[in-house]
Chains A and B, each alone.
Chain A
Amino acid sequence: MGIPSAPIVTKAFKDLAILNAAKRGMPHERICFTQHPVWGKTPDELHAYIEGQDPVSNKPFMKEVVDALTVPLSDDEKKSGMVTVSVGPPTFTDTAENLQDFYLNNGYTDFLPVILPTEEKVDAMLKGTTHHPDEVVGKMAAGAYPPWSYTVRQVAASAVMAGCRPEYFPILLAIASTGIASLFSSTNSFAFSMIVNGPIRDKLEFNYGIGSLGPFAQANATIGRAWTLMSKNLGNGGIPGDTYLGSVGNNLNYNNVVIAENEEASPWDPFHVQRGFKKEDNVVSLFRGLGVVPGQVARGSSANENVQFDYQLSDLFSTFTGFFGALVIADPLVAVRLKEQGYETKEKLIDWLYKNTTQTVKDYKSRNYAYLFDYPRALRGDEPWASWYKMPDDAVIPHFPHASDFNIVVTGGQTNAYPQAANMSYGVSASIDKWM
């Protein structure tokens, strides 16, 4: 922009800030650091930060700020041109045992054993698609970084490592083609999920019966895991302090939440059909958000024999953030019961949930995420947030801004009429058939 600037960052983000500036082409950016944290401090405490020293340089903080704007640039700081980033040689040779350690110690894995991607195994994986090994599939970034690109062959390496069979490969290519990473560089600890629809669920023996979200089938387990390995290896995600900043972390990042829809036992249209695909199409749909919670704990689950799943779900949503959507994960028994209650389609239930899950403006404004995410949008005039922030405290507004924030998928083994729900938003659906 031609305007000298001095970024101020708290000490906790030191490495990140330097790396980030370098990735954007300014390896020498003059960053000034304050003590951490700033949030929750009084004006007096912050005043002391300013009068004190930069905890990284140990020089007076304000001198650092003024110097950053006024000290003439060095030769390095004026440099332009291109720098290439290396990721090491194309292959490694050693004993299987040493390579297992090497992959683990170099951050290629999720810190669990992998199938070593020998050329033979990668070639076998490549037989799972008709696409050329050198075809560029897409680009991925774990946040606001320059994305890395990758070929069919590079996707195959992560697929082998995760334990996938070659017939799973088109699903991984479909995911990779979206460019969405399952590890994201926010201080929030996000979770990711995918819904798989179409005949491929049976062809690959996905589990959508008893324990469908758990460790009970190779397709569910390895395809979910491969997404995280791709995010690390192809998208450069998951480096704590650099491309991963989630303060507390999320257990769901190991295998992601893989949901094969139980289309056969569901009384409703499958998710991909709702998105405009044909029933016989094979589709993977990606979600991002915070996590999955069980529904049977909510009120409205009824102590008598008249269970009200609609009220139960709505009650459960009251501690969800409206920043992400609500994904209802219904056991077929729940879905059938809801249909008996009059929700003939998923859309009807969504309409009811949207209208009946509400909050007061006062409660809304007191929510952490509202200030963090929605208030800036309100400032920009984005609706509905701009209106919500102008309403009186006792006005009642929807918990989620749009009916389209709700999604419904059916999975489970019908051993009990329990729903689960994820505080997650729909991202995109990708055709698997295109990658066969």
Chain B
Amino acid sequence: MEKLGIPSVPLATKSFADLAKSNASKRGMPHIRACFTPHPVWGKTAEQLMAYVEGDDPVSGRPLMKEIIDGLTVPLSADDTKTGMMEVNVGPPVYGPDTLDGLQRHFLDNGMTDFLPVIIPTPEKVEAMLKGTSHHPDEVIGKMAAGAYAAWSYNVRQVAVNAVMAGCEPEYFPVVLAVASSGMAALGSSTTSFAYSMVINGPIRDKLNMNYTIGAMGPFAQPNAAIGRAWTLLGKNLGNGGIPGDTYMGSQGNNTNYNNIVIAENEKDSPWTPYHVQKGFKPEENVVSLFAGEDIRQGHGARRAGVLENPMFDDQISDIFRTLTSQFDALVICDPLTIKRLVEQGYDTKEKLQQWLWKNTTRTAKDYRDSAFVYTFHYPRALRGEEPYKTWYSCPEDTQIPYWPKPDNIVLVCAGGQTNPFFQVGNLTYRTSVSVDKWM
């Protein structure tokens, strides 16, 4: 707006005071005249909000409306009209020499970790990591931002430093590079506390000894643990994410952000097509597919379990879908035993089950519209005329509508150790698949 020559005043609530300032700076207007109301606005009555309008700006302590009018009318200072480029400094290329303890503390105190011990990225260790790829250390491989900020760029060496810190072995490096090349950060800057997940396919799962059997998603194998953790460190150090109040705004946070949800698909015990093959890769290719969304939840609470000797997993999965948001998709993780049972029920392909689940998981338009997420994310798209949201907002309240626009919004993968036919459901959306082989 300012670029268009129209004086403007952004109005935010007090909780966003730091964010609004640092954000404006990153966009090149360090002196923007932001005004603030008390927090929150949501859930307040019109009378309460009028009191906000007639009251003081809680940041400046001056009457809010005076702040706003001054913001639009007080002449600009020299700083306000400055143009040019401003460099952002991230410190020297190396730290030390210092003791390992001293360096451990330095990395921790400077926000370069997830607050857990790291392997100190000495030149030797980074060199060893770089041997895990044929790519040149100086090759610039991508850009990452933790939200709607200017993205930071990085090269192979900078990715290696973070891979060392997370505890990766050099053989894992191509997977980490593939993730980094996607430019997707595992820490978003929304007030929602997002979760992130990756599905790994191909022979590399066995080469790296990834765990896809008992405890597949838990702390039971180094590649699963370290690769997942590296993604978060990439988000912090390469994408400048994860600074609470600045580039991280999730009100309550998400425990899965430590290591992200790493799923090596159990291709061996699954009668279904592996996920990367569904995405058009060959079975022998190594691929990492990235997801973002809300959380992952277990299927135990589902109704229609069929109780005795006849478990109906299609019904159960559909029942769990009822408390997911349509803003994100569904990533269903099935133990091989669950899949065997589903195949016996007639779902001999993932596509058949996707189709059934999509058709049979519906709700009324009234329930659909009665959701905070739908209001924030879908309603504006409906206003813009986007389908199917426009129809979903204009149809009668009692119309049954699906949870997602297409069967493809439901993703099925296999992981687990066959100790019990369980399943879990992530409210997560597929973003992209990246070849790992390209980064070998």
Contacts and interface: CB of A to CB of B under 8 A. Distances in A.
Given A13-B419, A213-B193, A423 B301 contact: yes
A333 B39 CA distance: 9
B261 A163 contact: no
Contact of A221 (B218, B258, B309): B258
Contacts of B213: 240
Interface stretch (B90-98, B147-155, B291-299): B291-299
B252 A413 contact: yes
A53 B25 CA distance: 73
B94 to A, nearest CB: 19
Contact of B323 (A40, A221, A298): A298
Interface in B234-272: 242, 244-245, 248-262
Contact of A418 (B191, B219, B259, B424): B191
Contact of B216 (A187, A216, A228, A248): A248
Contacts of A319: 297, 301-302, 319-320, 322-323
Contact of B308 (A247, A369, A371): A371
A213 B341 contact: no
A329 B252 contact: yes
A241 interface: yes
Interface string B140-176: 0000000000000000000000000111000000000
Given A214-B257, A316-B323, A240 B225 contact: no
Contact of A111 (B226, B325, B418): B226
Nearest to B323: A319
Contacts of B167: 111-113
Interface string B301-315: 111111111110000
B433 interface: no
B220 interface: yes
B43 interface: yes
Contacts of B219: 110-112, 228, 238, 253-254
Contacts of A365: 307
B323 A216 contact: no
Contacts of A251: 217-218, 228, 255-256, 259-262, 296
B372 A245 contact: no
A417 interface: yes
B395 interface: no
A22 interface: no
B323 A215 contact: no
B115 interface: yes
A418 B251 contact: yes
Given A251-B261, A319-B320, A221 B39 contact: no
B379 interface: yes
B215 A415 contact: no
A104 B222 contact: yes
B369 A363 contact: no
Given A240-B214, A251-B218, A40 B421 contact: yes
Q: Which residue, of A294, A301, A412, has the highest number of chain B Cβ atoms within 10 A?
A: A294
A189 B298 contact: yes
B121 to A, nearest CB: 11
Given A297-B323, A368-B316, A248 B255 contact: no
Given A251-B261, A301-B371, A366 B216 contact: no
Nearest to A228: B219
A296 B194 CA distance: 12
A216 B417 CA distance: 32
B43 A210 contact: no
B42 A307 contact: yes
A95 to B, nearest CB: 12
A114 B421 CA distance: 34
Interface stretch (A128-136, A285-293, A427-435): A285-293
Interface in A280-326: 290-294, 296-303, 305-307, 315-316, 318-323
Given A39-B421, A111-B220, A303-B369, A244 B215 contact: yes
Contacts, number: 359
A368 B311 contact: yes
A253 B255 CA distance: 10
B421 A37 contact: yes
Contacts of A337: 43
A292 B371 contact: no
A266 interface: no
Interface string A346-384: 000000000000000001011111110000000000000
B422 interface: yes
A415 B115 contact: no
Contacts of B302: 319, 367-368
Q: Which residue, of B244, B252, B298, has the highest number of chain A Cβ atoms within 10 A?
A: B252
B416 A299 contact: no
Contacts of A201: none
A390 to B, nearest CB: 16
Interface string A367-405: 111110000000000000000000000000000000000
Nearest to A330: B252
B411 interface: no
B398 interface: no
B422 A247 contact: yes
> Sorted from nearest, which 8 A-B pairs have the closest CB atoms?
A214-B253, A297-B325, A249-B218, A211-B253, A416-B191, A187-B420, A249-B215, A213-B253
12 contacts: A13-B419, A100-B119, A111-B222, A162-B117, A212-B252, A303-B371, A319-B320, A340-B43, A366-B304, A366-B306, A366-B307, A415-B191
Given A241-B214, A318-B323, 9 more contacts: A39-B309, A162-B116, A187-B420, A211-B252, A252-B255, A255-B255, A319-B323, A368-B299, A414-B15
